[in-house]
Amino acid sequence: MTTQMKLALNGQITPAMAAVAAQEGLAPETIRERVAAGTVTICANINHASLKPRGFGLGLKTKVNANIGTSSAYPAVEPELAKLQAAIDAGADAVMDLSTGDDIDFSRKEIIKHSTVPVGTVPIYQATVEAIKSRGSIVDMTADDLFNTIEKHAKDGADFMTIHCGITQASIARLRQQGRVTDIVSRGGSFITGWMLHNDKENPLYERYDELMDICAAYDVTISLGDGLRPGCIADATDRAQIEELLTLGELVDRAWAKGVQVLVEGPGHVPYNQIEANIKLQKQICKGAPFYVLGPLVTDVAPGYDHITAAIGGTLAAAAGADFLCYVTPAEHLGLPTIDDVREGVIASRIAGHAADLVKGVKGAWEWDLSMAKARKALDWEKQIELAIDPVKAGRRRSERNPGGAEACSMCGNYCAMKIVSEYLGKPIEKC
């Protein structure tokens, strides 16, 4: 089997490329050229039967990911399948299964089976959980345990996998020298760092990177190069440890492309607003335009319960500066496992951020969407406004709850609707769209 990237390099437009071109309103040849160059990634494992491919990268709509998955406190998969559907219904372009519950294999297979959007995983989560069960400790995990888990996820149909290859002994030394408030907040990053320090060995994901690429190529898995040293608070942003890892990730992008493996590069994290644009431009330069997948960025540390908003603020600027893929943050971030309502709120908040950025980037269709909404508002066409809303469910509910009897104007202005008054005096009767 060959990969989308290898086929693109050979001049072939695949069905997945054609599907992405249709979604984006672009020429199939444009998608092929960008996949060949590595600036667009199509996450599409050959074993994900229910998948409708999505494209991530240069010139495409900003995409949104939703994290779901079981935990030791909530091990049942059924609520996560409900969250999967809620995320898709709210417009998520991908989901990540971060399961650490009782039967991780079953959870992953069920989520992949039921998902029509790309599914990402973090194999080190399962490898460490199983190491604790079978060997008694995370640090007793072997490199082969980790690689066997990675191959299992690939076989099961994971479309992209977060792999923390960029944490090396050199970057850990830089971290120690730097000093941080929150040290390492990436769960996968902490696992591999603890293993490396205890065993006094180099990161096997870095040492055996070519073997990792062979697994990804066999199933056309996109490697999502994890940012294990991402800043976990504003005070740690854009420090030397973060940049040390980024430099390594840039080299690993080149090595993946040389094997025909598609790449996403993950990024921060908690970043003050005035540093976000520089972070994005630096990543794009070092990683040669590879699609950038960011968590947030969260622009303040003091808003638990509202971190979907802090992330949307940062996500807008990040995407406008060139980030391609936003990992949602829910109101439950830093507090607990998200509910279905949290999932929905997180997806919508990130979609708003992505669309606001798409207006800036001139993504096809973004401007036309806003213009259609403006015309519907001018016409007091409530049905059309709700249809065009990014969250029609909430818009429709608020409209019906606060406007008894379907009044023509909203109950905020009532008889004093500005658009209605000005239209009358300008002699321009309001007309439905």
Question: Which residues participate in the annotated binding site for Zn(2+)?
Answer: 270, 334
Collapsing DSSP states into helix, strand and coil, what is residue 335? coil
Cβ proximity of 372 and 364 under 8 Å:
no
5: left (phi over 0), alpha (psi -120 to 50) or beta: alpha
Residue 357 in 3-state DSSP? helix
CA 431 to chain centre: 41
What are residue 163's phi and psi, to 5 degrees?
A: -125, 125
Q: How far apart are alpha carbons 125 and 186 in whole angstroms?
A: 11
Binding-site positions read: 67, 96, 125, 164, 186-188, 227-230, 266, 270, 293, 334, 410, 413, 417
Rounded Cα distance, 404 and 420, in Å: 19
**Measured distance CA(187)–CA(397) in Å, rounded:** 38
Q: Are 5 and 262 contacting, i.e. CB atoms less than 8 angstroms apart?
A: yes
Q: Which amino acid is at 362?
A: G
Total Cβ atoms within 10 A of residue 121: 31
Structural contact between residues 166 and 245, judged by C-beta atoms closer than 8 angstroms? yes
Q: Give backbone dihedrals phi and psi of 64, rounded to 5 degrees, phi first.
A: -130, 135
Written as six digits, the tokens of 249 are 């990730």
| AA identity, residue 213 | M
Could you tell me the two tokens for 288? Answer: 């040669």
- Known binding-site residue numbers for [4Fe-4S] cluster: 410, 413, 417
| Residue numbers belonging to the annotated binding site for substrate | 67, 96, 125, 164, 186-188, 227-230, 266, 293
Helix (H, G, I), strand (E, B) or coil at 85: helix
CA distance readout (Å), 168 to 144, 206, 249, 350: 18, 7, 11, 32
Q: What is the DSSP letter of 298?
A: B
